Structure 1
Amino acid sequence: MSNEKPPASTLDADIDLEKIPVDQLLTKLGVQAEQGLSSPEAQQRLSQYGPNALVEKEESLSAKIMGHFMGPIAYMIEAAALISALIGHWADFAIISVLLLFNVGLEMWQDRKSSNALAELKKGLAPEATAMRDGKWQTVAAANLVPGDIVKIRLGMVVPADVRMVGGDYASIDQSGLTGESLPVTKKVGDEGYSGSVVKQGEMVCVVINTGSNTLFGRTAKLVAGAGSVSHAQKAMFQIGNFLIIVAVALALIMVAVQVYHNFVVADTWDMNDALSILQFVLVLLVASIPVAMPTVFSMTMALGALQLSKEKAIVSKLSAIEEMAGVNILCSDKTGTLTKNQLSLADPILIEGTHAQDCLLAAALASNIEDKDAIDTAVIQALKDQNVLNNWKKLKFVPFDPVTKRTSASVIDSTGKAFVVTKGAPQAIIDIAKPSTEIAQKVKDAVAALAAKGSRALGVARSEDNGVTWSFLGILPMFDPPRDDSKLTIDNAREKGVLVKMITGDDTAIAIETARQLGIGINIIPAADAFPKEMDPNNVPPEIVDLIEQADGFARVFPEHKYAIVKALQSRGHLVAMTGDGVNDAPALKQADCGTAVSGATDAARSAAALILTAPGLSVINSAIDEARRIFGRITSYTIYRVALTMDIMFLVVLSIIFLGFTPLTPIMIVAMSLLDDVPIMAIAYDNTPVSEKPIRWKMPQLLGVSAVLGLFSIAQSFGFLLIGMEVLSSPTEQAFFGLTTHAQLQTLMFLQLVAGGHLLLFVTRTERWFFLRPLPAAPLFLAILCTQILAILMCALGWLVDPISWTMIGWTWAYNLVWMFLLGAVRLITEHLMAYRTTRHLKSLKMVNQPLQAHD
């Protein structure tokens, strides 16, 4: 056979190298199994197909750092810092810059932890391989393997590329990290093996059919590199920032136009100082409108939530995932080791010709070898009530599992010198050697079929007293991977929270259906091969398949691209998806999911791709994560409504008073001080007591901005009304001055205090959809932070720090005015929420009526 390089079409997608006969495969690849490739030919193919390695696009450190200073929120913060520098407010510039650097540092720390999935995947690849080159076996770098290379795999080795078996007896390969199968798979000549899987038993000669990014492992890495979704919190902050900036710019333009008209046309006193004064105030107003502290408040709130989750054995590696978890309505869960124990268990033996269950188990245990650490052998031996009984027999010979005979066997002798032979294996293989009567054979087949329908594997056991001449079919051992004790309760609790659980596994359909039935998930389990065409683009799933995914309770026999496609398809229908997994095969889906969760014992690749890492077995902590996420989302929503409403209050107050009253209610230093007094202590909202929503919650910007706008309008009325009262007092004769208010500077101080006090009282209204005096009450850290801030503001106004001093009486009346409005704003919040809920309910009813199919009359 020629050793010439095969044409480029050899490895085209239309040729299924995993299925064609071995002799045709070798011909297609242009190689002889006995000779392998020559060194020149291997080098030529290496140039054609590239190295057998994962190629990662390198990004410079400077580019990574600059990337964190880009984006809508970063641009707004940078604009605020620039404006502060332009007008010479260096204290404000310093504070804003610190906030910017804090956010960038936090993002870089998160990225360092969460973007190493590809690096961890690389660790799973074999560094070296044994290949036939120039007619002799050589050790070569795995990265230099090419399609057509003849390689040898043996116990303990990592399969270096995607291969087909062309020689040898058998190999038992653990490919669970790639396919999710719960047991090692026995391979014989003609079978395929995947790069990154581990050889547990045996030795085989193979031919390489795919290398690098074309392997199953490589395709998984490519999906990981391309996976990921933008945080909904980032989108929300962008929308909120846009809303505030648009309002601020519009008001600033109106204010500038009015001022220019007044100075240039009416007063005819326009000069450069007037222009600079207007520009300075416009810039300060824009600084006040930018939610500089919003990313910091979001980050701190989620960081404290992450700390709380860490106490419950869950490590958060991507803070935004906490906020995403609040809106998750579908949880795609891996089966093996997550919903189940990943420990083979034996049910009571089904006796055929045996008389005692323990005798049947003993025969199976004698036909096992604990030193091989085989999952089946271990489960059989552990099922014995007394394992010490094995010491009463001595093994004369042990034959390990053979994929041809599909059984193990052992010759043993007891203390009296009596010898016999025992065997265990596939029930049909035991029938073939035992040759029982037709009635007994049918009984075995019926029992095996019944077990298969329940998703249990069957192991036949036989014993011979005459050195294998005649056999007695003792019985059948049912084997299964039992569900974890807490899995059903976890699923039920998740369902009560409005989260639908879909099971995704690499195991057979029957096993998946039985596990799903026991857990109450539903039995609409679909084999992935039946749902997904072989050449489907996982990033563009056809609509009819998306419909199937939405309706299914789970999938069996899945590969990495299937899991990724399932998550991507569900997201395309507006679902927020959490995904759990533990293997390399789960990494793409974990990274793509809104909240990828690596379960206890997960591989490094899975942990690096995930946003949430569970350190305790099982899924029970998921419900705690959902509860904590919904609390955090409630806190963030409260802050957002507060921030938007208060910003509207400040901006409209300033612009309206300048336009209609010709009075500037706040000085630039007051605006900066007010921003600090309002935002810095509000970071304590991360500790607030918040109720847990019963259903998934997510960003509903029209509703959120609607509530914010309504509260903002009433807050404007509150502040502008207070200003009008002050202006009325100032216009009265001096001897009738209200509690000593005599100057416009004092009125500015009053407005400063009203906005600082009213702003924090507004937070008590926004933090709950109920009356603010009902439980849950504000947490102590939040209450104390606001209390200290208010004391500081009162002292500033009473002692004249940065503002003109006012009397204690004026301070008292300002607080009384705000407390009255606090109750009024509370009522406004309740009415607004009620009207929006009513409108939403009517809208949903209308949609249901419109979508209801017409039925013919009888």
Structure 2
Amino acid sequence: MSSLRGLTKAEVEERIKRYGLNVVPEKKESLIKLFLKKFTGLTPYTIEAAAAISFVLGRYVDFTVMVALLLVNAVIGIIHEHRAEKAVELLKSKLRVVVRVLRDGEWTDVPAEYIVPDDVVKLKLGDVVPADGELVTGHLIVDESALTGESLPVDKNPGDKVYAGSTVLRGEGVVKVTATGVSTRYGKTVELVQVSKPRLIIEEITASITKGLLAADVFFIVLVAIKLVMSRTSFLDLLPFTLTLLIASIPIALPAMTTITLALGSIELAKAGVIVRRLEAIEAGSMMDVICLDKTGTITENRITVREVVPLSSEYSERDVLLYALLASEDDSKDPIDRAVLEAAKEKGVSKQGVEVLEFRPFSPETKRTEAIARVNGVEVRAVKGAPQVLAEMDKGLDKSRYETLIKGMSSRGERPLAVGVEKSGVFKVVGLLGLYDKPRDDSPLFIKEIKEMGVKPIMITGDNVYVAKTISGVVGIGGRVVTLKGVPREEIPSLVEGIDAFAEVIPEEKHDIVVALQKKGHVVGMTGDGVNDAPALKRADLGVAVSNATDIAKLSASVVLTKPGLRNIVDIIKLGRMVYRRIVVWSLNKVVKTFQIVYFVAISTLFLGLPVLTPTHMILMLFLYDFVTLSISTDRLRPSKKPERWNIRKLVTISVVLGLVKILELFLALYIAIDYLALPLDQTRTFVFYVLLLSGLFNILNFRETGWFWSSKPSLTVALSIVGDIIAGTVLVYQGWVIPAIPLHAVVVGFLYSVAVTLMLTDAAKIMAFRLFGAV
């Protein structure tokens, strides 16, 4: 049934019904469980405690607002996590492992999830084994470290078992599938494609800022509590107030903000042709200052052409050299050198017409040459093409000095020399050299220019010799400082990596060592690659980029995968990464300043007045309205930086403190206007302060998204509509007196105009001055 013709379509469908798809099902939590989880953690517990106390005290309005905040946050969180999960599923569906399978007597490409028991699968270098099976023909060397933890490769001969999740390091073979999906050794522990969501540096840094704010808040809260106790405020009135102050310091919207920002960033990149496998790649893209570029297939087209033909004597013409090279090439070969010779011969009108090929011997790694026995014009000859040094040893009468000079000349022009020889009447002679050239991609020079302008240093890494490396790196604009690591001890590599434009004659282990050395020097490092030999470096790099024609193992090792040829999409990764970074910086700046506005202003004013200037209801309502809008920052159109980003906590905190102090002064002036100028009673004063606090926080979003004046660029439509919607909602609340005491229309107008004047003029001017003094964050 499943002989050399493979399975039929009907047999495949029957097996899919019986065994299911070749996937390991993911355990997903129920929607109810996910929803309930939203009510756990520091922030929800604090709000729940405040709500419970409010209910016991009979403050049902406070209780209702707090419960509404918890419910809305939970719903928003579930919705956006669902969107993020859908985005991840989309990315995973695009990053499919495709397998060569024998079906209905023909070899065809099939996604790995549709492999079934008894399928006949062909595996080659770089493939991921899609299911458990038995090797039928061929020989494989596989890496089973993902399964066994054993780093040494394993030889597989006919009759040996191969396992899903292992990767082919060398050789080719045909495998008959014996188990798929959960029945494989892979079981339920590993997926063929996995998109991980690790903790990000951005989250860790924002969390550290929050801890600092909480520490300062606790100090003020203790002072306020002492003051209110001295003012004979009851403990049951004091507790909800202090708990609410604590809530104001906790970044309620941070998890949703980070999830939305990164998920939207991943979707944007997917549309541009970039599949994000690990979310930290977006962050790495913003901070990357060095990128190591694999030459072949990345900077160059990975399409070898014959650039020049050099006969070694007048006895042989260019056509003769091409003819003997053609005889030593296989007509239907997939070997790139054979294809280059076939194309060059066709262009020059050279063919095998009239020539009888008696025997062909394909390329062998041991002999490093290809041979053919042929009858040319009635004379039997042996045509040979191969490594110049190998053929030089076969030609006893060769002028070695001239030969080496020609080879060096070709190398200096970026060509790889290929020697062509012929044996007649038992005498072998090298008749000429072919200059093989892997042409740089048309877009490579532009790409190099762009990333240099963005502050990212390109370093080319290639296995080719120094001459080829120097030529290609010079042509595309990388630079001419080229070195080889031959004979350099591993521990000395870090002392060489900086100031170098290209590394030549590099072996796979050295690619990894170069990345590690650059990271030890403090660089955030990117790495591009396409082969098995690039996998260790791709996995180690901060931003591992598998190019469009990469092997499966390279794609699974990288953090992003390009689906289009060329490197242009790396610029998109950098720009989007920097934009995402700016969004989270703007959010953090708003959060710290808002904490100053609410917590410190409320605490200090309470110390002076002896009564809370805002009630828990005011504060909870404001946090709800404000945090809802700050989520929209994740969609904002922010200008990416022209240089790699770096978190500078001291600078961020310093600027936030300066602007926070400015905001506190503005709020005390607003308090003075409410009490002395508008002569509002305490309840209405609290609502007036609430309104000014809300509006100034919303206008701050416009301020902090720009280092210059706020009108320097337009926010996204989502940000603009969110701010306008919140202003309308807040205005209706304070004028109609819903949930909180109403204030008269003239007080609403004064509050609005005051907020516009001080925030969009005074605060914006203070922001520009702070950025000039301390530098932009």
Give TM-score, length-normalised by structure 2. 0.77
C-alpha distance in structure 1 between counterparts of 2:713 and 2:508, whole Å: 44
Query: Residue 80 of structure 2 contacts residue 260 of structure 2 at CA under 8 Å; is this kept in 1?
Result: no
1:490 aligns with 2:438: no
Aligned to 2:703: 765
Over the residues paired in the alignment, what is the CA RMSD in angstroms?
A: 4.4
1:804 aligns with 2:741: yes
Query: Residue 130 of structure 1 contacts residue 152 of structure 1 at CA under 8 Å; is this kept in 2?
Result: no
| Equivalent of 2:327 in 351, 366, 375 | 366
**Larger CA Rg, structure 1 vs 2:** 1
| Equivalent of 1:450 in 409, 416, 419 | 409
Count of aligned pairs: 683
1:397 aligns with 2:358: yes
Task: Name the stretch that deviates more: 227-236 or 584-593.
Answer: 227-236
1:476 aligns with 2:437: no
C-alpha distance in structure 2 between counterparts of 1:744 and 1:558, whole Å: 76
C-alpha distance in structure 1 between counterparts of 2:540 and 2:153, whole Å: 35
Query: Residue 687 of structure 1 contacts residue 779 of structure 1 at CA under 8 Å; is this kept in 2?
Result: yes
AA of the residue aligned to 2:285: M
AA of the residue aligned to 1:722: A
Aligned to 2:171: 198
| Equivalent of 1:594 in 532, 542, 550 | 542
Identify if the C-alpha distance between structure 1 residues 413 and 561 changes in structure 2 by more than 3 Å, giving closer, same or farther: closer
| Equivalent of 2:630 in 682, 692, 703 | 682
Q: What's the CA shift string for 1:682-702, capped at 9, x where partnerless?
A: 322233332232211221111
Aligned to 2:682: 744
Q: What's the CA shift string for 1:568-592, capped at 9, x where partnerless?
A: 3333332222222223343343333
C-alpha distance in structure 1 between counterparts of 2:420 and 2:512, whole Å: 41
Aligned to 1:91: 68
Q: Give the superposition deviation at 1:404.
A: 6.0
Q: Give the superposition deviation at 1:275.
A: 1.3
Report 1:770-781 matches (<5 A): 770-773=708-711, 775-781=712-718
Task: Name the stretch that deviates more: 396-405 or 694-703.
Answer: 396-405
C-alpha distance in structure 2 between counterparts of 1:141 and 1:693, whole Å: 41
C-alpha distance in structure 1 between counterparts of 2:429 and 2:503, whole Å: 40
Aligned to 1:793: 730
Q: Give the superposition deviation at 1:770.
A: 0.6
| Equivalent of 2:514 in 566, 571, 596 | 566
| Equivalent of 2:258 in 274, 298, 312 | 298
1:384 aligns with 2:332: no
Aligned to 1:782: 719
C-alpha distance in structure 1 between counterparts of 2:268 and 2:356, whole Å: 55
Query: Residue 323 of structure 2 contacts residue 352 of structure 2 at CA under 8 Å; is this kept in 1?
Result: no
Aligned to 1:409: 371
AA of the residue aligned to 2:472: T
Task: Name the stretch that deviates more: 452-461 or 480-489.
Answer: 452-461
C-alpha distance in structure 1 between counterparts of 2:520 and 2:248, whole Å: 37
1:317 aligns with 2:277: yes
| Equivalent of 2:289 in 329, 338, 342 | 329
Task: Name the stretch that deviates more: 231-240 or 96-105.
Answer: 96-105
Identify if the C-alpha distance between structure 1 residues 158 and 389 changes in structure 2 by more than 3 Å, giving closer, same or farther: farther
Q: Give the superposition deviation at 1:813.
A: 0.9
Q: Give the superposition deviation at 1:340.
A: 1.9
Query: Residue 444 of structure 2 contacts residue 476 of structure 2 at CA under 8 Å; is this kept in 1?
Result: yes
Aligned to 1:852: none
C-alpha distance in structure 1 between counterparts of 2:507 and 2:236, whole Å: 65
Q: Give the superposition deviation at 1:790.
A: 0.6
Identify if the C-alpha distance between structure 1 residues 97 and 402 changes in structure 2 by more than 3 Å, giving closer, same or farther: closer
AA of the residue aligned to 2:303: Q
Q: What's the CA shift string for 1:657-692, capped at 9, x where partnerless?
A: 221112322222222221121121232223333223
C-alpha distance in structure 1 between counterparts of 2:353 and 2:598, whole Å: 89
| Equivalent of 2:304 in 318, 337, 344 | 344
Give TM-score, length-normalised by structure 1. 0.70
C-alpha distance in structure 2 between counterparts of 1:147 and 1:603, whole Å: 20
Report 1:569-718 matches (<5 A): 569-718=517-666
Identify if the C-alpha distance between structure 1 residues 150 and 836 changes in structure 2 by more than 3 Å, giving closer, same or farther: closer
| Equivalent of 1:462 in 421, 430, 433 | 421
Identify if the C-alpha distance between structure 1 residues 448 and 507 changes in structure 2 by more than 3 Å, giving closer, same or farther: closer
C-alpha distance in structure 2 between counterparts of 1:498 and 1:198, whole Å: 42
* Percent of aligned pairs with the same amino acid: 30
AA of the residue aligned to 1:448: I
C-alpha distance in structure 2 between counterparts of 1:107 and 1:563, whole Å: 34
Query: Residue 81 of structure 1 contacts residue 96 of structure 1 at CA under 8 Å; is this kept in 2?
Result: no
SS at match of 1:530: coil
Query: Residue 328 of structure 1 contacts residue 576 of structure 1 at CA under 8 Å; is this kept in 2?
Result: yes
Identify if the C-alpha distance between structure 1 residues 429 and 583 changes in structure 2 by more than 3 Å, giving closer, same or farther: closer
AA of the residue aligned to 2:409: A
SS at match of 1:336: helix
Q: Give the superposition deviation at 1:519.
A: 3.0
SS at match of 1:694: coil
| Equivalent of 1:245 in 214, 217, 224 | 214
Query: Residue 345 of structure 1 contacts residue 481 of structure 1 at CA under 8 Å; is this kept in 2?
Result: yes
Query: Residue 124 of structure 1 contacts residue 196 of structure 1 at CA under 8 Å; is this kept in 2?
Result: no
SS at match of 2:299: coil
Query: Residue 587 of structure 2 contacts residue 633 of structure 2 at CA under 8 Å; is this kept in 1?
Result: yes
| Equivalent of 1:834 in 769, 772, 777 | 772
C-alpha distance in structure 1 between counterparts of 2:731 and 2:154, whole Å: 83
C-alpha distance in structure 2 between counterparts of 1:753 and 1:323, whole Å: 36
Q: Give the superposition deviation at 1:769.
A: 0.9
Q: What's the CA shift string for 1:510-538, capped at 9, x where partnerless?
A: 543443333333444444453444xxxxx
Q: What's the CA shift string for 1:47-95, capped at 9, x where partnerless?
A: xxxxxxxxxxx9x9799x9xx99xxx99544544554564453222223
Query: Residue 125 of structure 1 contacts residue 195 of structure 1 at CA under 8 Å; is this kept in 2?
Result: no
C-alpha distance in structure 1 between counterparts of 2:153 and 2:298, whole Å: 38
AA of the residue aligned to 2:755: N
Aligned to 2:228: 259
C-alpha distance in structure 2 between counterparts of 1:469 and 1:701, whole Å: 77
AA of the residue aligned to 1:649: Q
Identify if the C-alpha distance between structure 1 residues 525 and 147 changes in structure 2 by more than 3 Å, giving closer, same or farther: closer
Identify if the C-alpha distance between structure 1 residues 94 and 527 changes in structure 2 by more than 3 Å, giving closer, same or farther: same
| Equivalent of 1:520 in 458, 477, 484 | 477
Query: Residue 582 of structure 1 contacts residue 603 of structure 1 at CA under 8 Å; is this kept in 2?
Result: yes
Identify if the C-alpha distance between structure 1 residues 195 and 788 changes in structure 2 by more than 3 Å, giving closer, same or farther: closer
1:425 aligns with 2:373: no
C-alpha distance in structure 2 between counterparts of 1:121 and 1:103, whole Å: 35
In structure 2, stretches of 5+ residues that fail to align are: 1-23, 54-62, 98-111, 113-125, 175-189
Aligned to 1:504: 461
